[in-house]
Amino acid sequence: MSTDLFCEIIAGARPAYVVSSDEVAVSFLDTRPVFKGHVLVVPRAHVETLADLADVGPFFARVQAVARAVEDGLEAAGTFVAMNNRISQSVPHLHVHVVPRNRKDGLRGFFWPRTTYESAQEAESYAAAVAKALPAE
């Protein structure tokens, strides 16, 4: 049984601004977002890297849905979707970053400046906007 930060969030032992949760994946706001509304999508089962993920299709269907919801819910022009495997992976649990993007937003290359939410209420409002834009199950 792993006890990494994301496993703790999945188990409900650590708080997070959850956007969606099902038997395949849990999506929640990054606590140090590149831009507000930056969502992490993690598989419910603990795996460290993409190579370790047994059933890629259902997981990436969730990533695809979150990418659409970030654009729709936050009125973003697009998204930046990225994943690290071991190198630069801050938590040893597979996770995909879905970052809202707009033209001239200042993001350049692979330098990811980070920001913070001004309050819990602001973070909750971003999580709710993305969650509301997800398709009904």
Residue 28 clears pLDDT 80, i.e. is over it: yes
Q: What is the mean pLDDT of residues 100-116?
A: 81
d(CA 8, CA 117): 21
Q: Which amino acid is at 107?
A: L
Query: Global pTM?
Result: 0.86
> CB–CB of 116/34 below 8 Å?
no
Q: CA 112: distance to chain centroid?
A: 15
How much is the pLDDT for 135?
Answer: 85
Question: What SS3 class is residue 25?
Answer: strand
Which has the higher per-residue pLDDT, 82 or 87? 82
Region of residue 28 (left: phi > 0; alpha: psi -120 to 50; beta: else):
beta
Range of the domain at 63: 5-133
Place 87 in a pLDDT band, splitting at 50, 70 and 90. confident
CATH of the domain at 47: 3.30.428.10
- Tell me the pLDDT of the chain averaged across its residues: 92
Q: How far is residue 124 from each of residues 25, 37, 60, 128, 137, measured CA to CA in Å? A: 19, 10, 24, 6, 21
Q: How many domains does the chain have?
A: 1
The pLDDT of residue 111: 64
